[in-house]
Amino acid sequence: MSQATREPRTKRTLRKAPFVVITAFLLLWLIGVATGEPARVLEQALQVCLSCIGIG
Amino acid sequence: MEAARKWIQVIVAILTNGSWSFPFTKTLYQGPLKVICAPGLNCYSCPAATTYCPMGSIQQLLGGLRFALENGQYYFGFSVLGSIGVLGGLLGRMICGWACPFGFIQELLHKIPSRKFRIPRILSHGKYVFLLLFVVVLPLVLVDEFGTGSPWFCKFVCPAGTLEAGIPMLLLQPNLRSTIGLLFLNKFVIMLLFLTWAVFSSRPFCRTACPLGAFYALFSKVRLIKLHLDEAKCTNCKACHHVCPMGVKFNESPNDPECITCLACMNKACQFDAISLEIGGIPLAVPDKGLSPASKP
């Protein structure tokens, strides 16, 4: 590659790490959904958790 | 940009607490939206809450893990962890600065004119202890005779839960008032402590005790959207130190886990355009202010 066609050293490149992390957690979320976890989360979220809020 | 952030904080607070029928129903919102994860710390026992709190939910799932496994249900909290993990990978603690109702409340309290105090940096480690111990270990390990653990952080610490759920539920359901005991008193005192501290110091709960903030802080180096420091332009004038609500010295630590990307350093402090917002390494915005290129050193 000639000197003229080289990219300047200051040019910022796309970071791949965020995409790897996001994909990994997306897969984790899919596993959770596949095991039926959201239904359990919804079940909990629909009830007043008295001990959680310091009353019971 | 600061006005936009304030508006987003208001909109998210309204969206995550958008069920206003509670004065008539006297109870929680019980619709299907509650399967959606709130990005910030927002108690799902709040009568107006439309989404679930990730920290509350994780504790409940881990507390009930033994019971679930005995029944062949593999509820490890993956869907919750996945939800906040995706949010963390995208925005990290930008969520604290832009989308957390309790963070917003603390910001408003800090506007009350008073003498202001710094928070010692060492206290910022506390939130990791709360995350590990109160959210994960104790609900998982300390179980009752039925094998069920308690949501330790919600039960003994969370001031957001007391403010957004405990007090409103007591007002809505008078029959609950007879159950007030030491547990509530402990949480009420903790809530008063943090709310009072917020008047004198910036975001004390976010900085010292929030387990969700601690989780998002783990993404400080790898999150997609973050602030970038151009070292060639930075003069180390330290102007960014004085405006940061989280006590971050941005020129010394551009990937600081405390940074909530409120953009104060970029828009209010840096006169040399050394700080910019980037998406995955690509500059998104550079403040259109500061010195002209000709006058720069």
List of domains in chain B: 2-217 (no CATH), 225-295 (3.30.70.20)
Interface contact A31-B78, CB threshold 8 A: yes
Name the residue range of residue A49's domain: 17-56
b/e map of B38-74 (b: 16 or more CB within 10 Å)? bbbbbbbbbbbbbbbbbbbbbbbbbbbbeebeeeebe
pLDDT at A2: 43
pLDDT at B27: 84
pLDDT at B178: 87
Q: How many beta-carbon pairs below 8 A join chains A and B?
A: 166
Look at residue B143 and tell me whether its pLDDT is greater than 80.
Answer: yes
The residue-averaged pLDDT of B226-233 equals: 95
Residue A42 has its nearest CB partner, among B35, B73, B282, at: B35
Structural domain contains residue A1: no
Residue with tokens 């402090």: B269
CB-based burial label for B173 (10 Å; 0-12, 13-18, 19+): middle
Look at residue A55 and tell me whether its pLDDT is greater than 80.
Answer: no
CA separation for the pair B167, B177 (Å, rounded): 10
Q: Which residues from chain B sit within 8 angstroms of residue A32, using beta carbons? A: 76-82
Residues contacting B205, CB < 8 A, separation 6+: B102, B106, B159, B160, B194, B197, B198
Say how far residue B14 (Cα) sits from the centre of its chain. 16
Look at residue B293 and tell me whether its pLDDT is greater than 50.
Answer: no
The three-state secondary structure class of B220 is coil
**Banded pLDDT at B28 (limits 50, 70, 90):** confident
Residue with tokens 């802080």: B217
CA separation for the pair A18, B221 (Å, rounded): 9
Residue A22 has its nearest CB partner, among B74, B89, B165, at: B89
Cross-strand partners of B282: B279
Cross-strand partners of B283: B278
For residue B37, which phi and psi values (nearest 5 degrees)?
-80, 130
Best B79, B153, B173, B175 member to test A by mutation, with max A CBs in 10 Å, is B79
Q: Which residues from chain B sit within 8 angstroms of residue A21, using beta carbons? A: 85, 88-89, 219, 222-223
Domain count, chain A: 1
Task: Compute the CA torsion angle B45, A35, B130, B83 (nearest 10 deg).
Answer: -80
CA separation for the pair B141, B290 (Å, rounded): 55
Interface contact A19-B280, CB threshold 8 A: yes
* Helix, strand, coil distribution of chain B in percent, nearest 5: 55, 5, 40
Residues contacting B31, CB < 8 A, separation 6+: B19, B50
Structural domain contains residue A31: yes
Give the ranges where B147-297 is alpha helix by DSSP (H): 152-156, 159-161, 167-172, 182-200, 204-208, 211-217, 239-243, 264
**Banded pLDDT at B16 (limits 50, 70, 90):** very high
More confident residue, B296 or B217: B217
Structural domain contains residue A33: yes
**Banded pLDDT at B292 (limits 50, 70, 90):** very low
**Banded pLDDT at B2 (limits 50, 70, 90):** confident
Give the model confidence (pLDDT) of B45-78 as tens digits: 999 999 999 999 999 999 999 999 999 999 999 9
pLDDT at B287: 59
CA separation for the pair B1, A43 (Å, rounded): 39
Structural domain contains residue A4: no
b/e map of B124-139 (b: 16 or more CB within 10 Å)? beebbebbeebbbebb
pLDDT at B289: 53
**Banded pLDDT at B285 (limits 50, 70, 90):** low
ipTM value, please give it.
Answer: 0.89
The residue-averaged pLDDT of B155-183 equals: 91
Give the model confidence (pLDDT) of A16-46 as tens digits: 999 999 999 999 999 999 999 999 999 988 8
**Cα Rg of chain A, angstroms:** 24
Structural domain contains residue A49: yes
**Banded pLDDT at A10 (limits 50, 70, 90):** low
Interface contact B183-A55, CB threshold 8 A: yes
CA distances from B216 to B2, B95, B103, B140, B223 (A): 22, 8, 14, 21, 9
Give the model confidence (pLDDT) of B83-142 as tens digits: 999 999 999 999 999 999 999 999 999 999 999 999 999 999 999 999 999 999 999 999
